[in-house]
């Protein structure tokens, strides 16, 4: 299974944009890229996902490299509530199981400074 590599931690000032990188150099052509975040004492929360094209939603933007070997989650204006662990996850298509499984890495702990 393809793996993801993320920095262990990052810091950002409040109200400034944050770019969270993820490397997935062994990604397959049909693997979706999902981003989740996990606040303290909570379960992971869906942020955004994409396959090949850049994506925007109300929470964030996802920029996917042309060769798909890396992606970047962009938070346009970080707030204190965005402090969390952010996971970049690959979701390969099912081969034998009939379901898409997530492969979690260790994530990036984002600290937002007031």
Partner 1 sequence: NAGVTQTPKFRVLKTGQSMTLLCAQDMNHEYMYWYRQDPGMGLRLIHYSVGEGTTAKGEVPDGYNVSRLKKQNFLLGLESAAPSQTSVYFCASRNARGAGNQPQHFGDGTRLSIL
Binding segment toward partner 1, per CB under 8 A, in 13-21, 61-69, 74-82, 101-109 = 101-109
Nearest distance in Å: CB 28, partner 1:
11
User: Scanning residues 33 to 72, which ones bind partner 1 (CB under 8 A)?
Assistant: 34, 41-46, 49, 51
Nearest distance in Å: CB 64, partner 1:
13
Nearest distance in Å: CB 102, partner 1:
7
What is the Cα–Cα distance from 32 to 92, expressed in whole angstroms? 6
Count of other CB atoms within 10 angstroms of residue 105: 16
81: three-class secondary structure by DSSP:
helix
CB nearer to partner 1: give 41 or 67: 41
Beta bridge pairs of residue 55:
62
The token pair at 82 is 């965005």
């Amino acid at each position: 299974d393809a793996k993801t590599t993320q920095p262990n931690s990052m810091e950002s000032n409040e109200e400034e944009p944050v770019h969270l990188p993820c490397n997935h150099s062994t990604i397959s052509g049909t693997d979706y890229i999902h981003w989740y975040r996990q606040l303290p004492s909570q379960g992971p929360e869906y942020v955004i996902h994409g396959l090949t094209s850049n994506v925007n939603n109300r929470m964030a933007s996802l920029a996917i490299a042309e060769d798909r070997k890396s992606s970047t989650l962009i938070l346009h204006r970080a707030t204190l509530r965005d402090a969390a662990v952010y996971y970049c996850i690959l979701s390969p298509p099912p081969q034998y199981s009939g379901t898409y499984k997530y492969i979690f890495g260790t994530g990036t702990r984002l600290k937002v400074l007031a």
